[in-house]
Structure 1
Amino acid sequence: MPETRLLHISDTHLGKRQYGSDVRRDDFADSFERAIKLAVDRNVDAVIHTGDLFDDPVPSLPTVMRCADALEPLEERNIPFYGIVGNHERKNNDQWLDLLRRTNAVTRLDRASTVVGDVALYGIDAVRPSVWDTADFDLEAPPEDIQCSILCMHELLEPPAEGIVADHPVEDVLERVNIDLDGLALGDLHQPKSTHVDGTDVWYASSTERCAKDQEETGLVQLLEIEDGDLTRRQLELETRPWAVFHIAFGENDSASHVQDVFDRRDLNNAVAKIELTGERGAVTANEVIRMARDAGAAVVSVDDNRGRVDIDVDSIEAMSLQGLDGAIEERLADEDFSAVALDVDGRVREGEGLNDSVSGAANDLEPALRDAQQAAFDEVETPDEDIDVPVTMEGDE
């Protein structure tokens, strides 16, 4: 049988306003579109997406529409798009993938085999930690002429994930599925890690956009080539916005000229500038650093002002070596079924972008959305037969 070629993409996080920036929201959509174009250019037989197509359970209508538009080139060339639901986008009932399926744009993978060439594809949506031990991992037996079976999941499994970041051992999955797997295609970890366990190739595709300051890899996808049952993978890189991640150490008498000297030695043109301020507090404010970074050409600026704080030894925190503390916090929050408002407020508070500098000012900024969410909660209690999802958009400065 001829070679079967699949493009594996994951963790596109459409709609993510990283650092409160509309520029970054567009970047995530642009990277997704580049991945789709790559699938078309490589003339693959299908695209598989292993979760977190969207960044949250209630994406905005423009985000969903742009996603549908991006998928049109696949439809025009009869290239199927197969996906599963990730923890960020997971809802209690119908999923956004189900809506896109009604437009013939995508197919949601499940425990029944979906055949592409001589490959059987399966999918299990992100499993809530509270039901992991009782979750059903049984898969339908593949057709007799199938040469390769691949299961798509959205989990943090060790290996390839490591230490505190991992939620479950990969052996647990391989023991609980009732068929032999040639490949376990994973999403959730935003790094391209892989391993072999008991004859099964296990790998993460990575994310299509840089999701955290300590994710040094640029946007990545995986090209899978299967021939006569042999599975090979090639990592392909997408063009993404450059990042400049650095710190500025302040002495007691350092002024704005010290900041400018640092900027003059770095290329911030059109970049995401993630800057940490350390050392002594002085006359230069964090807002002044943001303004100067923008003047130096940065498209997006986020500043962590840690001046005057006591250093803490975090060498023992293994999560720092993978997704970072922010990434680990986001993954845990996504598993807890918080509302879109709660997640948005948490992200804005931790990132600090787009909020008033004073406590009372920040509270005033957040109050309208919180009141709307409170009213929606009361309305839901009064009409328990209705499933109400309240999309909330909270704009901040870029």
Structure 2
Amino acid sequence: MPTRLLHISDTHLGNRQYGSDLRRNDFADSFEKAIEYAVEQDVDAVVHTGDLFDSRDPSLPDLNRCIDTLQRLELAGIPFYGIVGNHERKMDDQYLDLIEKTGAAERLTRHPTQVTDEVTLYGIDAVTKPAWHAEDFQLEAPPEDTFTILCMHQLLDPPVPDIFADHPLSDVLEQVNVDLDALALGDYHETVGTVETGTKVWYAGSTERCAKDEIEPRTVSLLEIDDGELTRREWELDTRDFITIGITFAEGDDHSYADDVIDRHNVEDKVVSVALNGEATSVTSRDVRKAVINRGAAVCRVDDQRGGPNIDLSGRPSGGIESADRLIQEKLGEQNLSEISLEIEERVRTGDVARSGFDNEVEELLIEAQDEAFDGQPATGAEGQE
């Protein structure tokens, strides 16, 4: 029998998009729909390529709901394999490790994980941009005559357009020491793929829209491996629609003008993004938001650009990647910083350590680095004093 896998990614559980609890629930609903589809299809396993959660510290309700959803797979005898993405990545133990202790998930590593006699999986967690140059892509040898799939959470060109990619795909394919048949990826929110030197490479995309310009339907990838050949097809998830409305005001335009523009669109039960341009008028962004919500919109976000600088954004890149962390990491990558400096920097930026314990945490990191540098012996001065 062929091996059948469901590849999902970038579920971003806990994302209160636009400050909305309804949107947070939407993200959880989409994840549940993907898992229900896996059970219906009776797949051999579900593979998740990172950003299961939207943050490094998901709330207890989000964590519990995730575990409840995964236990549906467990009851159906379907294993859930995952890696850690950049949004949820912590310095030490990961939440995926905690879920693994419940028996509802298993974290993929550089050691081979056999799904069936025919398919072997590997996993490499998200690698920060400053650490990429030192990354080791060595994998433990797979069992003979198996189809090998490496799961990663990185922006690689191709298939990601160069303007979005962090690294060339060749960095991985040239350094991995095993013969890869496929590379299943996460981090890019659109469904794209390519074939490079005989290796099939693709992104499953996100299960919910994480930005208003993520226009395409959200999907998951159903994989079938039969006699060493992989077939991939997409299954569309039923997600909430997004709509964008532009209102350009002239001097003297009032509430009735804004109402007329809004009424040209069906906003019922949708996530609505409204851009206000032109002249400043008596109509406030709050007025517009109220008008949209009163017409049945699920969520409304208003961007008021009236009277501001005339900036042409028509040529800006579009896509689903919005991360201050990524910009910071890019700049850090240009600096010649030590590993210990990078680790301290990340703890400052991410707030993983409470202020009251930060001094002790940094001291421990420095002591560990010192011990490693001196082969476990305390560093001493010329007089033999510490």
Question: TM-score, normalised on structure 2?
Answer: 0.86
- Is residue 116 of structure 1 aligned with residue 115 of structure 2? yes
The residue aligned with 1:321 is: 318
1:104 aligned counterpart, secondary structure: coil
Q: Structure 1 289/334 Cα, relative in aligned 2: closer, same or farther at 3 Å?
A: farther
Pairwise CA distance, 1:68? 0.2
Q: How does 1:1-398 map to 2 (within 5 A)?
A: 2-117=1-116, 118-146=118-146, 148-317=147-316, 320-323=317-320, 327=322, 329=324, 331-332=326-327, 376-382=354-360
Q: Structure 1 55/90 Cα, relative in aligned 2: closer, same or farther at 3 Å?
A: same
2:145 aligned counterpart, secondary structure: coil
Query: What are the superposed Cα offsets for residues 130-156 of structure 1, whole Å, 9 maximum, x if unpaired?
Result: 11111110111110131x111000000
Pairwise CA distance, 1:165? 1.2
The residue aligned with 1:361 is: none
Please give the alpha-carbon distance, in whole angstroms, between the structure 2 residues aligned to 1:334 and 1:283. Answer: 43
Structure 1 gaps of 5+ residues are 344-372, 388-398
Given that residues 380 and 386 in structure 1 are in contact (C-alpha distance below 8 angstroms), is that contact kept between their aligned partners in structure 2? no
Q: Structure 1 82/59 Cα, relative in aligned 2: closer, same or farther at 3 Å?
A: same
Given that residues 57 and 340 in structure 1 are in contact (C-alpha distance below 8 angstroms), is that contact kept between their aligned partners in structure 2? no
Aligned residue pairs, count: 352
Pairwise CA distance, 1:219? 2.1
Given that residues 222 and 236 in structure 1 are in contact (C-alpha distance below 8 angstroms), is that contact kept between their aligned partners in structure 2? yes
Given that residues 191 and 204 in structure 2 are in contact (C-alpha distance below 8 angstroms), is that contact kept between their aligned partners in structure 1? yes
Given that residues 112 and 142 in structure 2 are in contact (C-alpha distance below 8 angstroms), is that contact kept between their aligned partners in structure 1? yes
Letter in 2 for 1:134: A
1:267 aligned counterpart, secondary structure: coil
Please give the alpha-carbon distance, in whole angstroms, between the structure 2 residues aligned to 1:142 and 1:194. Answer: 24
Identity level (%): 53
Letter in 1 for 2:271: V
Please give the alpha-carbon distance, in whole angstroms, between the structure 1 residues aligned to 2:54 and 2:348. Answer: 13
Q: Whose Rg is larger?
A: 2
Please give the alpha-carbon distance, in whole angstroms, between the structure 2 residues aligned to 1:82 and 1:263. Answer: 45
Query: What are the superposed Cα offsets for residues 265-311 of structure 1, whole Å, 9 maximum, x if unpaired?
Result: 11111111111111111000001111111101011111110112233
Query: What are the superposed Cα offsets for residues 62-99 of structure 1, whole Å, 9 maximum, x if unpaired?
Result: 11000000111100011000000000000000000000
Structure 2 gaps of 5+ residues are 333-342, 366-386
Q: Structure 1 80/376 Cα, relative in aligned 2: closer, same or farther at 3 Å?
A: same
Pairwise CA distance, 1:176? 0.6
Given that residues 88 and 334 in structure 1 are in contact (C-alpha distance below 8 angstroms), is that contact kept between their aligned partners in structure 2? no
Pairwise CA distance, 1:220? 1.1
Please give the alpha-carbon distance, in whole angstroms, between the structure 2 residues aligned to 1:314 and 1:272. Answer: 22
Q: Structure 1 316/259 Cα, relative in aligned 2: closer, same or farther at 3 Å?
A: closer
Mean Cα deviation higher: 97-106 or 327-336: 327-336
Specify which structure has the bigger relative contact order, considering alpha-carbon pairs within 8 angstroms and separated by 6 or more residues: 1
Letter in 2 for 1:381: D
1:15 aligned counterpart, secondary structure: coil
Q: Structure 1 136/240 Cα, relative in aligned 2: closer, same or farther at 3 Å?
A: same
The residue aligned with 1:363 is: none
Mean Cα deviation higher: 331-340 or 179-188: 331-340
Q: Structure 1 103/241 Cα, relative in aligned 2: closer, same or farther at 3 Å?
A: same
Letter in 2 for 1:237: E
Question: TM-score, normalised on structure 1?
Answer: 0.84
Letter in 2 for 1:135: E
Please give the alpha-carbon distance, in whole angstroms, between the structure 1 residues aligned to 2:348 and 2:39. Answer: 37
Letter in 2 for 1:287: R
Please give the alpha-carbon distance, in whole angstroms, between the structure 2 residues aligned to 1:158 and 1:385. Answer: 39
Given that residues 128 and 329 in structure 2 are in contact (C-alpha distance below 8 angstroms), is that contact kept between their aligned partners in structure 1? no
1:176 aligned counterpart, secondary structure: coil
Given that residues 245 and 262 in structure 2 are in contact (C-alpha distance below 8 angstroms), is that contact kept between their aligned partners in structure 1? no
Given that residues 247 and 277 in structure 1 are in contact (C-alpha distance below 8 angstroms), is that contact kept between their aligned partners in structure 2? yes
Letter in 2 for 1:321: S
2:148 aligned counterpart, secondary structure: strand
CA RMSD, aligned part only? 2.3
